[in-house]
Every structure is written in structure tokens, then in C-alpha cells.
Structure 1
Amino acid sequence: MAVRAARTGRPSIHDVASHAGVSAATVSKVMHGVTTVKPDNVRKVYAAVETLGYRADPLASDLRRAKRRIIGAIVPEFESEFFGSMITELERSAEQRGYTLVATSSRESQDRELELIQRMQDWRVAGVILAPVRDEHGPAARFMRENDMTGVLIDRVLADDSFDTVSADSASASAGVAAALVEKGHRHVLVIGLGEQAATVRARLDGFKAAAIELAPDMVTDIILSESDVGPLRGALHDYFSKGSRPTAVYSLFAKGTLVALSEFRRRGWRCPEDISLVGFDDAEWMQVTWPTIAAVVQPVHSIAEQAMDVLFGRIAGYGGKPVASLPKCQILMRESVGAPRHGPRAGEDS
């Protein structure tokens, strides 16, 4: 300890190895995401990195490699809690391995997404985490394939022949929502979403419909999907209820849609869950503190980020093998906004 206190300058990989009680080669493997290292040694190395404040020397690394110690991350937007938390987790994981994360937003535009991935290629990033606007067949993923870029696709993706994919198990989560509503006695549910062309929207919708009809053959599932933004969805939802449609529950496939639905309920004077129940895919802080608290499907942000970075650094280190599709499980929290159907929205309170 006296020697540690007297040290000056940045800690070396050998300092980390000595502190963790492993070899420098093991430390190097952990930093590069090699998956064959024993879990106990991985924990020891990360603990030593944290304690010593170790940072890899990017200049020295760049002399040995054609690519820089930079990881690129492209997500559809930064505004949602989901993607904000995702970037935080990815950044932490990259820095633990001595890399820098550069995060950008495609702003839900495939044209911009392609432009950004081209910039990543120009910057010679070591690898890319891409959450595409729609799915694994978009222009950015295609550019990555054509240019042999190292990357992992996350969130709005299914299995892919070229890249590893990590996405929440949306279909199973939606099936769980259907089961919970059926168990409460609901037989008429409105599902609202944004952009059916997104892989995750299809998975969430299909998962709900399949489970609902299997568990309750008399289930009526109405669907409203808006391609562009919440504005058209708000108008469509208003028109739907104004025509006299009376579901006993609404299931929103995205966080902003949950807020749109709740706003429409309150505008009409409907109460949750007395008049209508509400469940949203994706949790948000406001859903936990409003009254009533809103039932939600909670995506495993930490697991998605961790698995994505583990497999990315494995590929950077040269690990071969076929691409793997991972589907971490979601958590379903049935809060105060869900109850057994009673009398539906009350007469005279629908305008």
C-alpha cells in the first residue's frame, strides 16, 4: 500500500494485473471483451480498474492498431428515458475497457442514420452499436455490411445473418400483458403504437394478439398505429373514442403513446382504472409518480447494453462464430392503472 501511495503518473496494465492478482494478458482480454475469461477474474479486473483509475493509453494503442479506441453509438433519439439510459450504460461499459464512446442521434431519420454511420467509418471507430430507426435491413446496417464494419445491432431488430443483435423480448412481454388483462377479465382492448414497420412494434403487436386470442377467443383487439408522430395518433385516438368505441383497456406500444392515451382519458373525464385501464410499453419516471401510477413493461436496459458491449468487444478481439441473437426478458409491473373492467367509460363523459 505504501508503494501504491507513492506512485505518480497513470496506472499501467501491469498495475491492474498486480492489484487483481491476474496476468497482464488476462487484463488485456477483459478490456477487449474476450468471453473465455473466468467470471471471477473479470470481476477482479473491473474492480482493480475502478480502484486504480486505470485508463488505457489511446495513443499507444493507435500505434498498434489501424482503428482508434473509440466506440460509436447511434440511437433514434435522446429524449426518451430508454435511450438516455442506454447511452449511459454503453458509455460506462466502454470506459471500463479503456475506450471512449461517441454517441449520436439519427432523429428517427434513415437518411441521417446512413450519414452518421459513414462518419463513423471515416473516424475509423473500433466498433459500432446501432439502434436502427426501423430494423436490421435499413441503410446504415447495409453500409456496415458492405464495408465490413464491426458492430452490434440493438433494440428495433430481430435476428441477422451478418451482425449480433440484442433486443428486449418484446413479443413475450406483450404476451404477458395480454395474459394479465385477460386474467382481470378484459375482452376488448385497444392497442396503440407508432410505425408498424419497426421490428419491435411488429413483435409487440403480434405477441399481444397471439396470446390474447389463445387465452380468450372472444377477445376483441382494436389497433391504431401512426406512422409519423404523436400528433396524428392523438387525433386518431380522439376520433376512435368519439365514434363510440368502448374498450375496457388500452395498451400503448411506446412511452409517448401512453401519455397521449392518459391525456385523452382525462380530457374526457375518465378515470383509471374505474372507467378504463392503461398499460404502457417502456417505463418512465412520470408513470411512477402520477396518480394513478401507470402499469408498464420495463425493458432491461442494463442487460441489453451489457450483452451488446460484451459481444462487440469479443468481435473487436477477433472472436469468430455465427452472429448471435439475444433477447433479454422484460419485467411487467401491473400498477394502479389496471383493474377489472366495471362499467366502461360512463355515459355522458365521452366528449
Structure 2
Amino acid sequence: MNKQSEPTIHDIARELKISASTVSRALNDNPRISLKTKEKIKAVADSLGYRPNTLASNLRNKKSNTIGIVVPLINRHFFSSVISGAEDVAFKAGYNVVISQSNDLAAKEIKIVQSMFSNRVDGLIISIAMQTSTFEHLKIFKKKNIPLVFFDRVIPEIETDKIVVDDFAGGFRVTQHLIDQGYKRIAHLAGLQDLTIYSNRKNGYIEALRKNGIHYDESLVIISSLTSEEGVTAVKQLMKLPNPPDAIFCGNDTTALSAMIYLRDMGIRIPQDFGIVGFSNEPFSKVVSPSISTIAQPGFQMGQKAAELIIREIETKERNPQTIVLPTELIIRESSSRKGSQ
């Protein structure tokens, strides 16, 4: 064997003076091959540095045993929790996962998804990027009958399995909590309204105001991509209003933190003068001072469910699209507990 070339089953067979078919069966754990023979073959395979040609095998079997997962931002606790839950189920079922992030960029998401399609993933689990507005790169999965599961940020126009949380109820609960704490002018820093998660959170906010007889003031709602910098820009804009707010419901914890730091630096007391609630329960929200009230989402459970759905579709070929709605939890901390701090 040429030392520069990859060892093959024929090299193993030559070494042991047996047939290549016996080697192949042994490496595939065929019950017709004795345990003693399997161990001999494996030992030689290891010594030669043999690597199975998984790609060739996948092409023959028309199955890669690989699931693609695309998230907007891996460094967000919610998305990393979803990945962890999906990988947990996939690994136990004998699947590998390929993970990538779009950085909330539509162009990058399109390239990633096209690459996963070309590399023949058996199915795709995805939460779309903030910028994504066209969906042909995802519709091809439906056209080719490749399982597709959306989570969190979903596309209503593509009929497939979807897993979301009750964002409307989350938005309502946050706003009601702030009202119960005695805040009178509650602003909302919302995400882009093309995404249903953010429009649902905003609608929950509006409904809570309505139920409590509070006028909905459009000047108190600022829509953005919810970056840290945009959180500061938004709160500056709000505080310049003739009648500024005394509380903010932020669309995520990142903007809640940046808004809180800005207000605190301005000498505004949190929560005595101003209440803040975020969304997603990022780990930092518990350890900053004051700690940030927020909405917790069951990310790990969402990932597990997404993997279960896609594996079922891969293995049964059944397509019965469903939308699963998981509950959220309001976690009350220092940033909004005005009555407890007085």
C-alpha cells in the first residue's frame, strides 16, 4: 500500500489474507461474522488508520444520517439550549448534527441552507434570520420532500412542522406585571414585525394595555433588530419624549441590559423610578445588578421536540404538519419589583 494513500478494506483483507467482503461485513457488524474475526479486523483497521468512506456509503443508501441545524446566533442561551436538546435526541437515534449560524443575515442563511441541501442532509431544523424575507432556499426542501422543521422564528407560508412558544401570552404577562407594579406609561422595544414572534409579543402588550383601560400610544413603541446598541438608541429616544415612559418591555434581554445600564448611568433608579423586563432569560439576566425580570422559554425542550419531529419524518416518510405551542414563564426579579423595593 502506498503510504500516502488512504487504506481501504482491500488493504485490510490483504494483511489478514481474507476476502474484502468479509472485512466489509465485519466493519458493518454483520452477525454472520464471529466476534473473534471482527476484533482481528478492527485491530488491523486501527493499525492501518483505516477510515470508512461514509460519503460513498451515504450515496449508495441515499441517506446521510445527518440533520442540519441553522440558528441566528449560537451565542444566545436560548439558541444554544435548542441545539443541545436537538443534539441529545439526534445522537441517541443515531444521527449526527451539522450546526451553523446565520448571524441574523439573510445572505449567509441562504448560502448555509444551500450548502446543507447540496451535502444531502436528511432534514433541516431552522430558526430564520432577522433579515430573511424571501424563502425559495427553504421551499426547495418541501419540493424535494426533505423534512423541514421551523422553531421560534417560523414562516407561516411554508406548511411544515413548527415549534413556537406562546409569545402573545408572554407579552401580555410582562405588561400586566408592570401594570400591577404601578407603572403607568409602559413602552415596548419590539423586534422586526415581519417575524411572527415579535408581532405576537407586541400584540400581547397591546392587549394587556387595552384590558386595563390604558391608551395605546404608538410613540412608546420602537421597532428595531434588538441589538445592544439599538437598545441604548431606543431608550434615549423614549426619554426625550414630552411625556416619557416609566417602564419598558424589551423584546429580548440584550436590549433590556443595555437600556438598564444607560438609565442607571443617567441616575435613574431601577426599579423605583423605572421598570424593565426582558425576554429569553439569558444567563446574565440573573447575575447583573439589579437582576432583570424576563420571560423564560423552554429551549432544550423545544430542541428535543424539533429533533423528534424531524426524525419521525425521515424514518416514516409521513408528512402531517403541525404547530406545537410551548408555554413560557415570567421570572420576576429586581428590575421590575417596584412594590417590593419601596
TM range (shorter): 0.7 to 0.9
The equivalent residue for 1:335 is 333
1:184 corresponds to 2:181:
yes
The equivalent residue for 1:92 is 88
- Is the partner of 1:216 in helix, strand or coil? coil
| Cα root mean square deviation, aligned | 2.9
The equivalent residue for 2:99 is 103
AA matched with 1:96 = K
1:170 Cα deviation after fit: 0.8
AA matched with 2:267 = G
- Rounded to whole Å, the distance in 1 between the matches of 2:209 and 2:125 is 34
Residues 161/194 of structure 1: CA separation in 2 closer, same or farther (3 Å cut): closer
8 Å CA contact 1:165, 1:324 repeated in 2: yes
User: Of residues 59, 62, 67 in structure 2, which corresponds to 1:66?
Assistant: 62
8 Å CA contact 2:73, 2:101 repeated in 1: yes
- Is the partner of 1:304 in helix, strand or coil? helix
8 Å CA contact 2:175, 2:249 repeated in 1: no
AA matched with 1:205 = K
The equivalent residue for 1:322 is 320
Residues 144/252 of structure 1: CA separation in 2 closer, same or farther (3 Å cut): same
1:200 Cα deviation after fit: 1.0
- Rounded to whole Å, the distance in 1 between the matches of 2:105 and 2:55 is 34
Q: For 1:151-200, what per-residue CA distance to the aligned partner results, in whole angstroms no more than 9, with x for missing partners?
A: 10111126555210001111111111122222223231011133222221
- Rounded to whole Å, the distance in 1 between the matches of 2:111 and 2:327 is 32
The equivalent residue for 1:231 is 229
AA matched with 2:71 = V
- Rounded to whole Å, the distance in 2 between the matches of 1:68 and 1:142 is 20
1:149 Cα deviation after fit: 2.1
Residues 340/216 of structure 1: CA separation in 2 closer, same or farther (3 Å cut): farther
1:206 Cα deviation after fit: 1.0
User: Of residues 190, 202, 205 in structure 1, which corresponds to 2:202?
Assistant: 205
The equivalent residue for 1:348 is none
- Give the unaligned 5+ runs of structure 1: 1-8, 15-56, 343-351
The equivalent residue for 2:150 is 153
Residues 216/185 of structure 1: CA separation in 2 closer, same or farther (3 Å cut): farther
1:267 Cα deviation after fit: 1.7
8 Å CA contact 2:123, 2:314 repeated in 1: yes
- Rounded to whole Å, the distance in 2 between the matches of 1:81 and 1:250 is 22
Q: What TM-score results when the alignment is normalised by the length of structure 1?
A: 0.75
User: Of residues 209, 213, 216 in structure 2, which corresponds to 1:216?
Assistant: 213
8 Å CA contact 2:165, 2:328 repeated in 1: yes
Residues 228/332 of structure 1: CA separation in 2 closer, same or farther (3 Å cut): closer
The equivalent residue for 2:22 is none
8 Å CA contact 2:227, 2:255 repeated in 1: no
- Is the partner of 1:337 in helix, strand or coil? helix
Question: 5 Å matches for 1:1-351?
Answer: 62=58, 65-134=61-130, 138-157=135-154, 159=156, 161-218=158-215, 220=217, 222-227=220-225, 229-340=227-338
- Rounded to whole Å, the distance in 1 between the matches of 2:263 and 2:320 is 48
AA matched with 2:208 = A
- Rounded to whole Å, the distance in 2 between the matches of 1:152 and 1:69 is 16
- Rounded to whole Å, the distance in 1 between the matches of 2:57 and 2:176 is 52
8 Å CA contact 1:188, 1:219 repeated in 2: no
AA matched with 2:285 = M
Residues 247/124 of structure 1: CA separation in 2 closer, same or farther (3 Å cut): same
Identity %: 22
8 Å CA contact 1:136, 1:160 repeated in 2: no
Between 1:333-342 and 1:319-328, the stretch displaced more is 333-342
AA matched with 1:67 = K
1:244 Cα deviation after fit: 4.3
